[in-house]
């Protein structure tokens, strides 16, 4: 059941709270003093023959059902039990009030169920009209629709031909030429393949001639012309039927039972009279709407308007002549039982309309894609089977690539950064301090020994020379080298040239170690930076991939909102047009009120596709409730529409 129907039933039921509370309290007090067990179920009270207890229990049961979807089987059962009790164990005014309360609450349950059924029936009509509007005028879509329905049309041709051949009148006078004429008859073939397109525009049973079709649609190929004419007739008929349903819906809303009165005197009698009058009028409206809808096949606008006006006149006349003295709650209960039966007939009537003018079935619409999937899937499976070794190799390579990237470029570099931060990575650098120290001491000993061998130095001078060597000054050796290099061959054999060269080699080694030590210090000071630089490319690639996936997800929500924005704007445009074209001051006509509810039901259906984040869906549904509210005037509802246009970007 729609939310609107439930809220309307609860609102009407709340207006009965005063009279219900007063009579239930007094009746419960009487029962508690006379009956030892006042907590029987409706069935137990009915089996015991206790009418008052049954009325109390049934009222409570119907009250509970009005808070959700009431089951018509339960309501019909309560009405049957009540009708069978009749006037047994009648306790006067208390029982009469309880009887009217029970009948009224059952009326509310049936009213809300009927309102919801009619309202829900307009949703498939709107969706079907949207389907035909999408196809109509698009040549490719019309051709594809013809291909979809081709098997059904051929089957209809075979069945109709078989029926004609088996017909007793045709069989008695059939000849070979007659059968050949039948099988080659264009009227018979076209009437079987395109029965809808050959119906007259004025009625549902007249037939056009083929020449009329050619004269009207001579510029198109005959099959396409027949398909287009068929779609157009379905559109026109469904539009008229939807208008009729909207008018019926508006009539039910206008004839909702009114239980309040402006008179403050004789509150109890007046209120009960108003309850009985409102219930009787509502039952009358339900009967006329369900019976008129199920039997009316004339969808002309003028005739539908005339029927609606006659219904309103009948309902108003019954209200003017109503008196509680002549009204019987038992008779109203019997009328309600007939309404429950009419609801099932009305459902069959709606099913007939869906079958005749609705969109094709799922099988009809999807048999072509299904065949394509079957054959295409078979080819794809054959290809996969032939290439399964290559596919496995590609899959393994892909998995290894992903695994290697995650382990070698994400996991291990991140662990390296953590080890660097915690100073756990103490690997040997470019040079060690101990190696530099030993090389420097070796150089010092070599220079000091060279000086002792060639110069007569005192101990203080030797100590001073050692300090100079530590500072990198080996000028003593260099001066000797300069002298030795003057006669290189002679001094290489008999002199000290080789010794001075080896000392300089050691000096070079010490210089290299010192440079490596400085470079190692520089690397150590920037070790954390290098660790982050090592992991940065892989982290950047991972972040970009995650951002891309997030962007795709957000775009999906945005695309969904944009896709639903077009039908939302179209529906709001139709709602605004209803308000503008309505000629009444404050109150809407039956047709406008019903059409408004149909469009609002469409809005509710579209709202389910809106995202729930940031309360978008909840706020949009709140705006729909404002448009549904009967208490708001036309001006307030127009302002609500303007607010929706300003508030929602997908409506801009």
Predicted pLDDT of residue 459: 82
How many beta carbons lie within 10 A of that of residue 231, not counting itself? 21
Q: Domain locations in the chain? A: 3-127+265-358, 433-525, 545-651
Burial degree of 274 (CB within 10 A; 0-12, 13-18, 19+): buried
67 touches 10 (CB < 8 A): yes
- Report the alpha-carbon distance of residue 358 to residue 129 in Å, rounded: 8
- CB neighbour burial string for 397-425, b if at least 16 within 10 angstroms, e if fewer: eeeeeeeeeeeebeeebeebbeebeeeee
Q: Residue 265: is its pLDDT beyond 80?
A: no
Task: Give CA angle at 354 (222, 245), nearest 5°.
Answer: 115
Q: Give this prediction's pTM.
A: 0.68
- Report the alpha-carbon distance of residue 159 to residue 165 in Å, rounded: 10
Residue for token pair 């031909």: 161
Q: What mean pLDDT comes out for the span 360-381?
A: 92
**What's the mean per-residue pLDDT of the chain?**
79
Q: Kindly report, residue by residue over 81-95, the tens digit of the pLDDT.
A: 888 886 555 555 567
Predicted pLDDT of residue 368: 93
- Report the alpha-carbon distance of residue 31 to residue 135 in Å, rounded: 66
Instruction: Report percent pLDDT > 70 for the chain.
Output: 80
Note every long-range contact of 204-209, with CB atoms under 8 Å and residues 24 or more positions apart, other chains counting: 204/297
Predicted pLDDT of residue 122: 83
316 touches 364 (CB < 8 A): no
Q: Which two structure tokens, joined as six digits, stand for 8?
A: 């309307």
Distances (CA, A) of 414 to 193, 290, 417, 472, 642: 72, 74, 5, 43, 55
Question: Which DSSP letter does residue 458 get?
Answer: -
63 Cβ contact partners less than 8 Å away, ≥ 6 residues apart: 13, 105
Residue 566 half-sphere exposure toward CB, CA atoms < 13 A: 5
**Residue 207, strand partner residues:** 199
- Report the alpha-carbon distance of residue 94 to residue 98 in Å, rounded: 6
Q: What mean pLDDT comes out for the span 108-118?
A: 88
pLDDT band at 372 (very low <50, low <70, confident <90, very high): very high
Q: Kindly report, residue by residue over 214-228, the tens digit of the pLDDT.
A: 545 445 567 888 888
Residue for token pair 């309202």: 119
Predicted pLDDT of residue 299: 54
Closest CA relative to residue 98, chosen from 10, 30, 33, 6: 30
Q: Which two structure tokens, joined as six digits, stand for 475?
A: 């000028």
Residue 563 half-sphere exposure toward CB, CA atoms < 13 A: 10
Q: Which two structure tokens, joined as six digits, stand for 23?
A: 């009579």
Q: Secondary structure of 558-616 in the HEC alphabet?
A: HHHHHHHHHHHHHHHHHHHHHHHHCCCCCCCCHHHHHHHHHHHHHHHHHHCCCCCHHHH
- Report the alpha-carbon distance of residue 157 to residue 192 in Å, rounded: 5
Q: Kindly report, residue by residue over 156-183, the tens digit of the pLDDT.
A: 888 888 887 777 555 555 566 666 676 6
Task: Give CA angle at 120 (645, 134), nearest 5°.
Answer: 65
Q: Kindly report, residue by residue over 31-53, the tens digit of the pLDDT.
A: 554 454 556 788 888 888 888 88
Q: Residue 15: is its pLDDT beyond 60?
A: yes
Q: Kindly report, residue by residue over 529-571, the tens digit of the pLDDT.
A: 777 777 888 888 888 888 888 888 777 666 666 777 888 888 8
Distances (CA, A) of 365 to 149, 233, 360, 361, 376: 8, 20, 6, 6, 18
Q: Kindly report, residue by residue over 600-648, the tens digit of the pLDDT.
A: 888 888 888 888 878 888 899 899 988 888 778 888 899 999 999 998 8
Predicted pLDDT of residue 573: 92
Distances (CA, A) of 249 to 112, 128, 234, 448: 11, 19, 22, 119
Q: Kindly report, residue by residue over 270-305, the tens digit of the pLDDT.
A: 467 888 888 888 888 888 888 765 555 555 555 555
Predicted pLDDT of residue 639: 92
Question: Which DSSP letter does residue 384 get?
Answer: H
351 touches 294 (CB < 8 A): no
Residue for token pair 């490596």: 516
122 touches 252 (CB < 8 A): no
Q: Residue 119: is its pLDDT beyond 80?
A: yes
What is the gyration radius of the CA atoms in the chain, in angstroms? 48
**Residue 199, strand partner residues:** 207
Which DSSP string corresponds to 127-179? HHHHHHHHHTT-HHHHHHHHHHHHHHHHHHHHHHHHHHHH-HHHHHT--HHHH
């Amino acid at each position: 059941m729609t939310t609107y129907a439930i809220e309307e039933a609860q609102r009407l039921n709340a207006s009965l709270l005063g009279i219900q509370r007063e009579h239930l309290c007094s009746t419960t007090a009487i029962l508690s003093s006379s009956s030892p067990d006042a907590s029987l179920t409706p069935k137990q009270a009915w089996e015991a023959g206790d009418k008052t207890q049954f009325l109390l229990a049934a009222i409570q049961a119907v009250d509970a059902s009005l808070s959700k979807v009431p089951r018509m089987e339960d309501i019909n059962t309560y009405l049957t039990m009540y009708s069978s009790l009749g006037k047994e164990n009648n306790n006067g005014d208390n029982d009469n009030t309880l009887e009217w309360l029970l009948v009224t609450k059952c009326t509310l349950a049936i009213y809300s169920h009927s309102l919801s059924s009619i309202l829900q029936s307009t949703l498939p009509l709107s969706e079907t009209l949207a389907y035909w509007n999408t196809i109509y005028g698009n040549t490719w879509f019309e051709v594809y629709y013809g291909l979809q329905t081709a098997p059904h049309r051929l089957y209809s041709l075979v069945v109709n031909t078989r029926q004609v051949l088996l017909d007793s009148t045709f069989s008695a006078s059939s000849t070979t030429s007659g059968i050949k004429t039948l099988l080659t008859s264009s009227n018979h073939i076209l009437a079987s393949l395109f029965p809808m397109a050959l119906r007259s525009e004025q009625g549902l049973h007249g037939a056009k001639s083929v020449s009329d079709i050619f004269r009207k649609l001579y510029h198109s190929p005959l099959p396409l012309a027949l398909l287009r004419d068929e779609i157009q007739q379905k559109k026109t008929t469904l539009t008229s039927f939807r208008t009729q349903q909207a008018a019926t819906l508006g009539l039910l809303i206008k004839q909702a039972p009114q239980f309040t009165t402006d008179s403050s005197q004789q509150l109890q009698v007046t209120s009960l009279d108003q309850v009985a009058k409102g219930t009787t009028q509502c039952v009358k409206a339900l009967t006329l709407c369900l019976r008129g809808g199920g039997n009316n096949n004339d969808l002309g606008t003028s005739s539908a308007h005339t029927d609606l006006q006659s219904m309103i006149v009948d309902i108003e006349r019954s209200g003017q002549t109503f008196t509680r003295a002549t009204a019987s709650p038992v008779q109203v209960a019997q009328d309600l039982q007939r309404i429950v039966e009419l609801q099932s007939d009305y459902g069959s009537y709606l099913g007939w309309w869906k079958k005749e003018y609705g969109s094709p079935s799922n099988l009809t619409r999807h048999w072509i894609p299904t065949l394509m999937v079957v054959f295409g899937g078979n080819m794809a499976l054959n290809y996969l089977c032939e290439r399964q070794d290559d596919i496995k190799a590609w899959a393994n390579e892909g998995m290894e690539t992903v695994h290697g990237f995650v382990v070698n470029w994400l996991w291990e570099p991140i662990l390296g950064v953590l080890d660097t931060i915690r100073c756990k990575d103490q690997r040997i650098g470019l040079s060690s301090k101990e190696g530099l120290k030993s090389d420097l001491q070796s150089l010092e000993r070599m220079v000091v020994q060279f000086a002792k061998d060639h110069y007569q130095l005192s101990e203080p001078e030797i100590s001073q020379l050692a300090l100079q060597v530590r500072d990198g000054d080996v000028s003593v050796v260099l001066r000797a080298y300069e002298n030795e290099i003057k006669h290189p061959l002679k001094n290489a054999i008999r002199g000290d040239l080789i010794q001075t060269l080896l000392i300089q080699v050691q000096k070079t080694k010490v210089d290299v170690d010192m440079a490596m030590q400085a470079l190692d210090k520089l690397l150590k000071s920037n070790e954390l930076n290098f660790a982050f630089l090592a992991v940065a490319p892989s982290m950047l690639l991972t972040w970009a991939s995650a951002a891309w996936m997030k962007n795709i997800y957000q775009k999906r929500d945005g695309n969904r909102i944009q896709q639903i924005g077009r039908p939302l704007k179209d529906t709001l445009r139709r709602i605004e047009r209803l308000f503008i074209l309505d000629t009444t001051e404050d109150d809407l006509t039956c047709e406008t009120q019903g059409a408004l509810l149909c469009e609002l039901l469409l809005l509710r259906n579209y709202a389910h596709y809106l995202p729930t984040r940031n309360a978008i869906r909840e706020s949009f549904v709140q705006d729909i409730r404002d448009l549904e509210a009967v208490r708001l005037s036309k001006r307030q509802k127009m302002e609500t529409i303007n607010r929706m246009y300003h508030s929602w970007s997908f409506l801009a």
